[in-house]
């Protein structure tokens, strides 16, 4: 292994000497004092770049005897597996040929260009047969000869996917010369789940929102009946205070729920379709409870899924959900806040696909074609591992040109049935939101945060640098901590050893995200860190 750095340290971490390896993988000869007792020994750290370290021990020396040690690391000499680089034009969509021609250039950590690869129609470039090392990936727009985005990654053969986002800033940590990548977003940017390389459940959940008395009830029941006839699952969001007086709709749903085959899942869509972010914790708790109680009294089922009206939530929403035993959050794509509930078991399955849209200009609704919906579902499965499709039932109602009528548009209803068939013909399962495997939940914590945690635990970055990462997660609602002080500083108390241990273990995937966040909660709540 050429150009690796070998550092020899004593057991207390003190470095005694170091050397780079030559083209034969050998260091210079070290002259080191043998340990005084048999219990003492040296440790040899082999490092490549800034992020890869392999520790070899014990290195035991004998007085007056030249010794050679052969160290075999766990890294391959050459990474032969295919490394895919995805280039994104925003937080969730990859570039296509319609956006122009793109190229990904690969540089080593010293800024030397290694190779490049053209981006294909799926927004992907490919690399293989490269050495284990730290690399910089530049996405170049060939049409404008400008840089679209940049990211760094350690290539060690364990990963097979790297992602570059548009306008991604590169922050250089001055204490360790470490490059940290952080996506730049405007305060009003859409907060969707960051694309992740996660297992694909090959499943699609359909969500019928805003179900209520009287309004287009013939259309609502026809849509539900279409899923029943196709033996397909469906999640239905009910507005609690606007449901129950329409005996036709309530009786229809109660009858369908009792059969339970196929499954109809009832979700809480608010009490009066109110903005939850405008209410305090107690008010939100009451709104959720009132709606759940009303739904249970009429249908005999208690929702465990919450569809927030307008997609609006705040810190109190998670406490209110948790206290009402609502464990699944499914917000709307365009208003969804990526959040990581820090002290509960709430999981996020946001809407990722819609069957139609409303024109901003004149307010009219437009249904997408089945081909468009199917393509969006495929993109969602690729990006997130699952798809949640929202159905606006007014898209399936007749319109006389001036008003929506309470009569199903049978052509659109037939298209809905054909879409269900097409999904199944392509091997996709149709499930409720609860039916999506919890294993498919995307990891919303950015990779650079995890890198920061590991570097902080190892003393490679300062407390203030680590706090910057925590501030970012709180500002972006990735973690939620109640009653935050508003100053970013340490109060002078020392950070408990177990918190730093947690950070290091989390960086090595030895503990869960929740366990790591508990340590951060402790620091903030004890006033050791003020955000």
Domains defined along the chain, listed by start? 4-59 (no CATH), 78-165 (2.60.40.10), 203-440 (3.20.20.370), 447-526 (no CATH)
Q: Where are the beta strands (DSSP E) in 298-379?
A: 305-306, 328-329, 347-348, 353-354, 356-358, 365-367
The band of 442, judged by pLDDT with boundaries at 50, 70 and 90, is very low
Question: By C-alpha distance, which of 18, 16, 46 is closest to 34?
Answer: 16
CA distance 207 to 267: 9
Q: Which residues contact 266 (CB under 8 A, 6 or more apart)?
A: 235, 236, 238, 253, 257, 295, 299, 301, 303, 305
Distance of CA 131 to the CA centre of its chain: 29
Structure confidence by residue, pLDDT tens digits, 236-264: 999 999 998 888 888 888 888 877 666 89
Q: Which residue has the higher pLDDT, 146 or 164?
A: 164
Region 461-468: mean pLDDT is 77
Q: Is the pLDDT of residue 186 over 70?
A: no
Highest mean pLDDT among 81-90, 285-294, 486-495: 285-294
* Partners of 152 in the β-ladder: 136
What radius of gyration do the chain's Cα atoms show?
28
Q: Which residues contact 381 (CB under 8 A, 6 or more apart)?
A: 200, 201, 202, 204, 387, 428
Mean pLDDT, the chain, rounded, equals: 78
Q: Is the pLDDT of residue 185 over 50?
A: no
The band of 506, judged by pLDDT with boundaries at 50, 70 and 90, is confident
Query: C-alpha angle with apex 211: 207 to 213, nearest 5 degrees?
Result: 165
Structure confidence by residue, pLDDT tens digits, 335-348: 333 333 333 467 88
At residue 338, the pLDDT reads 39
Q: Which two tokens stand for residue 323?
A: 């206290």
Q: Which residues contact 278 (CB under 8 A, 6 or more apart)?
A: 312
Region 371-386: mean pLDDT is 85
Predicted TM-score of the model (pTM) = 0.49
At residue 428, the pLDDT reads 92
Q: Which residue has the higher pLDDT, 284 or 67?
A: 284
Q: Which two tokens stand for residue 443?
A: 């990891």
- Per-residue b/e over 427-459, b at no fewer than 16 CB within 10 Å? ebebbbbbbbeeebbbebbbbbbbbbbbbbbee
CA distance 298 to 408: 25
Q: Write 361-365 long-range contacts (CB < 8 A, 24+).
A: 365/392, 365/394, 365/395
Q: What is the largest distance, in Å, between two alpha-carbon atoms of the chain?
A: 99
SS3 404: strand
Phi, psi angle pair for 465, to nearest 5°: -65, -40
Alpha carbons within 13 angstroms on the beta-carbon side of residue 496 total 13
Structure confidence by residue, pLDDT tens digits, 22-37: 888 888 877 777 776 7
At residue 518, the pLDDT reads 66
Give the strand pairing for 130-131 and 133-141. Answer: unpaired
Residue 38 burial (CB count, 10 A): 7
Q: Which two tokens stand for residue 221?
A: 């029941």
Chain length of the chain:
531
């Amino acid at each position: 292994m050429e150009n690796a750095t070998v550092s020899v340290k004593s057991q207390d971490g003190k470095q005694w000497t170091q050397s780079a390896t030559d083209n034969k993988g050998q260091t210079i000869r070290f002259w080191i004092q043998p340990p005084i007792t048999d219990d003492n020994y040296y440790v040899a750290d082999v490092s490549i770049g800034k992020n890869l370290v392999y520790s070899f021990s014990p290195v035991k020396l004998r007085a007056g005897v030249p010794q050679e040690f052969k160290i075999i690391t766990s890294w391959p000499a050459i990474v032969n597996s295919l490394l895919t680089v995805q280039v994104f034009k925003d937080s969730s969509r990859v570039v296509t040929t319609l956006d122009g021609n793109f190229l990904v250039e690969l540089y080593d950590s010293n800024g030397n260009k290694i190779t490049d690869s053209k981006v294909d129609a799926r927004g992907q470039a490919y690399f293989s047969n490269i050495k284990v090392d730290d690399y910089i990936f530049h996405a170049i727009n060939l049409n404008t000869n400008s840089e679209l985005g940049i990211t760094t990654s350690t290539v060690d053969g364990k990963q097979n996917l790297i992602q570059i986002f548009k306008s991604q800033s590169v922050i250089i940590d001055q204490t360790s010369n470490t490059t940290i990548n952080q996506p730049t977003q405007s305060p009003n940017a859409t907060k969707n789940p960051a694309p992740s390389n996660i297992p694909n459940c090959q499943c699609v959940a359909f969500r019928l929102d805003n179900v209520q008395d009287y309004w287009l009830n013939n259309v609502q029941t026809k849509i539900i009946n279409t899923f029943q006839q196709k033996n397909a699952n469906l999640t239905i969001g009910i507005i609690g205070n606007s449901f129950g007086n329409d005996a036709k709709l309530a009786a229809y749903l109660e009858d369908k729920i009792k059969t339970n085959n196929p499954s109809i899942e009832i979700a809480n869509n608010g009490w009066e379709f109110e903005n939850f972010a405008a209410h305090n914790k107690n008010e939100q708790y009451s709104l959720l409870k009132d709606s759940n109680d009303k739904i249970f009294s009429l249908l005999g089922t208690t929702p465990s899924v919450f569809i927030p009206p307008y997609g609006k939530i705040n810190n109190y929403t998670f406490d209110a959900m948790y206290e009402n035993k609502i464990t699944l959050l499914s917000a709307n794509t365009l208003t969804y806040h990526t959040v990581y509930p820090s002290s509960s078991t709430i999981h996020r399955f946001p809407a990722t696909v819609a069957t139609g849209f409303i024109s901003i200009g004149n307010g009219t609704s437009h249904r997408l074609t089945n081909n468009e919906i199917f393509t969006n579902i495929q993109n969602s499965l690729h990006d997130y591992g699952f798809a949640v499709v929202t159905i606006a039932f007014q898209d399936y109602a007749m319109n006389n040109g001036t008003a929506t009528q309470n009569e199903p548009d049978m052509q659109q209803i037939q298209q809905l049935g054909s879409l269900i068939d097409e999904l199944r013909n392509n091997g996709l399962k149709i499930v409720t939101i609860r039916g999506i495997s919890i294993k498919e939940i995307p990891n919303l914590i950015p990779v650079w945060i995890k890198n920061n945690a590991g570097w902080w635990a190892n003393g490679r970055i300062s407390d203030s640098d680590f706090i910057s990462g925590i501030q970012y997660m709180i500002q972006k609602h990735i973690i939620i901590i109640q009653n935050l002080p508003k100053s970013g500083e340490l109060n002078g108390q020392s950070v408990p050893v177990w918190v730093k241990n947690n950070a290091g273990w989390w960086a090595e995937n030895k503990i869960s995200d929740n366990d790591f966040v508990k340590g951060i909660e402790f620091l903030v709540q004890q006033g050791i860190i003020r955000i």
